[in-house]
């Protein structure tokens, strides 16, 4: 198999598998979860192969009759993140998903999950603005289905609210894409970059307005504070695997769209001088602090994790807004870090909720003594969120701080430090109470499956290893980031 053929496979394989899941859901419903898990594992292996190839050739390209797909080092890392986290989620779901949603719809859940995974991969490898937009919409619809899968009033209302607000964001995003197309005459990222200087000289206000609309639309769909109102309800009411998808993957893919636009379609010097840059820095700082303050006030564990995600999205936007090599490295690293860490936090919290029937933070006292595995995993994730070295959360904050200092914005370093203190204020008391306070009447409601235990351990080990060997990821990503500032594209 040639290198270029692997690129479309990471998109096509989940789609074909989803088709089989839907076709076999009545005759062989039990096989749907296994098929989804195996498919995702194969996609992860293919993504690893693409990462190795991108490390050698910088960019792996697939072209066929106007279709252009490209994988550079950054895209390869994102493919690994999306496939890897999806695999652990599906491993966790084996045998447990039927406890949260009606068993009869479990096969359809897996089918929709595979379509969502294919769309995540398609956005990552696509070289065309409109194609990325279409796949973002597929992601949106699939995510709404996964949120509503529980079938109760809260999850249904949350899914509808998510759809309505994200459709508004989609409309604004589409208008921005249309404006860029009118101004440049192209949708392919590389051709937009070539035509943009002339377009700016002729339609400067129109181009700026288009970019502004794209940023606003992306901010809504990424749950950037204060445009995050759909996130707590969707995250809090969804089944545990769906919550991981929302926090760990869904918000990231919309940021990936914006990152690809700013780094591949806009000349880097032009993007760095945008008048929208100060606005983005203010909004990201507000997200980091505002999301953390809201998380601090929560009494429900899943809503606390949702507001934490709103804050973490701010870190990624902060790196994009600073627009220098260190900050973009920090943003890309934080996409990896948060997907892994928030995945383990949600799976651990979901496990405790299933084991004990408790979701109020005050009721977590003593849980760590009774069920040490999920609480140890939760604690490792909490320490990473705070930014304690050598865990993965430290590295992304370090590079964001370096990026802020490179721009002479020491106040942003203060924002990062304050956010770490706020993270400690709402994460660490949960862990301390779970291990060092006595709990009352902690009963075991279910038995965790081996798959659930392994999935949490895999993510916990990944969090530690990514932190300990952060130089491997940074050394892999930085050449691609450096090429952006040499005018070479991503």
User: pLDDT by residue (tens digit) across 261-304?
Assistant: 877 887 666 666 667 778 889 999 999 999 999 999 999 999 99
Inter-CA distances, 175 with 6, 190, 193, 279, Å: 33, 20, 19, 20
- The pLDDT score that the predictor gives to residue 108 is 93
| Predicted structure pTM score | 0.92
Look at residue 372 and tell me whether its pLDDT is greater than 80: yes
Tally the C-alpha atoms within 13 A of residue 130's C-alpha that lie toward its C-beta.
10
202: burial class by Cβ within 10 Å (0-12, 13-18, 19+)?
A: exposed
Both structure tokens of 113: 């999950």
Q: How many CB atoms lie within 10 A of CB 453?
A: 16
Weakest-pLDDT range from 156-170, 221-235, 279-293: 221-235
- Are 315 and 292 a contacting pair, CB within 8 Å? no
Other C-beta atoms closer than 10 Å to the C-beta of 489 total 18
Cis peptide, bond prior to residue 226, ω within 30 of zero: yes
**CA-CA-CA-CA dihedral for 347, 353, 358, 364, to nearest 10:** -40
Report the pLDDT averaged over residues 162-190: 91
Give the model confidence (pLDDT) of 81-123 as tens digits: 999 999 999 999 998 888 888 888 999 999 999 999 999 999 9
The mean pLDDT of the chain is 89
Is it the case that residue 467 has pLDDT exceeding 80? yes
Residue 56: Cβ-neighbour burial (10 angstroms; 0-12, 13-18, 19+): exposed
Cβ pair 431, 349 in contact under 8 A: no
CA distance 36 to 347: 18
Q: From residue 322, how far is each of 395, 484, 486 by CA, in Å?
A: 17, 14, 17
How do the domains of the chain map onto residue ranges?
Answer: 3-484
């Amino acid at each position: 198999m040639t290198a270029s053929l692997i690129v479309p496979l990471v998109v096509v394989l989940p789609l074909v598998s989803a088709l089989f899941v839907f076709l076999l859901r009545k005759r062989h419903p039990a096989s749907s979860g296994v098929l989804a898990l195996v498919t995702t594992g194969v996609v992860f292996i293919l993504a690893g192969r693409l990462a190795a190839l991108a490390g050698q050739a910088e960019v792996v390209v697939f072209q066929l009759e106007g279709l252009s797909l490209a994988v550079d080092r950054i895209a390869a890392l994102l493919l690994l993140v999306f496939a890897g986290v999806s695999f652990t989620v599906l491993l966790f779901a084996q045998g447990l998903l039927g406890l949260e949603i009606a068993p009869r719809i479990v096969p359809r859940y897996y089918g929709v999950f595979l379509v969502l995974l294919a769309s995540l991969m398609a956005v990552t490898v696509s070289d065309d603005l409109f194609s990325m937009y279409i796949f973002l919409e597929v992601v949106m619809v699939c995510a709404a289905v996964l949120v509503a899968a529980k079938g109760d009033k809260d999850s249904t209302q949350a899914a509808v609210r998510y759809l309505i607000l994200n459709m508004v964001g989609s409309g604004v995003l589409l208008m921005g894409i249309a404006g860029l197309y009118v101004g440049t005459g192209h949708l392919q990222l590389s051709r937009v970059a070539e035509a943009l200087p002339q377009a700016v000289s002729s339609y400067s206000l129109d181009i700026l307005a288009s970019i502004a609309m794209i940023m606003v639309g992306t901010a809504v769909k990424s749950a950037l504070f204060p445009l995050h109102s759909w996130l707590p309800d969707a995250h809090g009411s969804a089944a545990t695997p769906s919550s991981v998808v929302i926090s760990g993957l869904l918000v990231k893919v919309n940021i990936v769209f914006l990152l690809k636009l700013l780094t591949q379609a806009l000349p880097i010097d032009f993007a760095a001088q945008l008048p929208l840059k100060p606005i983005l820095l203010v909004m990201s700082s507000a997200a980091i602090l505002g999301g953390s303050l809201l998380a601090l006030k929560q009494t429900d564990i899943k809503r606390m994790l949702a507001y934490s995600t709103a804050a973490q999205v701010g870190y990624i936007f902060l790196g994009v807004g600073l627009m220098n090599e260190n900050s973009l490295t920090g943003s890309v690293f934080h996409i990896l870090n948060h997907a892994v860490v928030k995945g383990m936090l949600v799976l651990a919290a979901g496990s405790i909720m299933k084991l004990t029937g408790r979701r109020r933070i005050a009721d977590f006292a003593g849980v760590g003594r009774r069920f040490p595995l999920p609480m140890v995993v939760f604690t490792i994730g909490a320490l990473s969120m705070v930014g304690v070295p050598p865990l993965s959360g430290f590295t992304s904050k370090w590079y964001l701080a370096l990026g802020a200092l490179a721009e002479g914005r020491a106040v942003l370093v203060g924002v990062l430090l304050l956010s770490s203190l706020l993270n400690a204020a709402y994460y660490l008391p949960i862990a301390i109470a779970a291990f060092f306070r006595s709990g009352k009447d902690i009963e075991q409601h279910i038995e965790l499956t081996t798959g659930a235990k392994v999935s949490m351990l895999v993510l916990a080990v990944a969090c530690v290893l990514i932190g300990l060997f952060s130089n491997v990821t940074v050394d892999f990503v930085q050449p691609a980031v450096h090429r952006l500032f040499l005018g070479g594209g991503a």
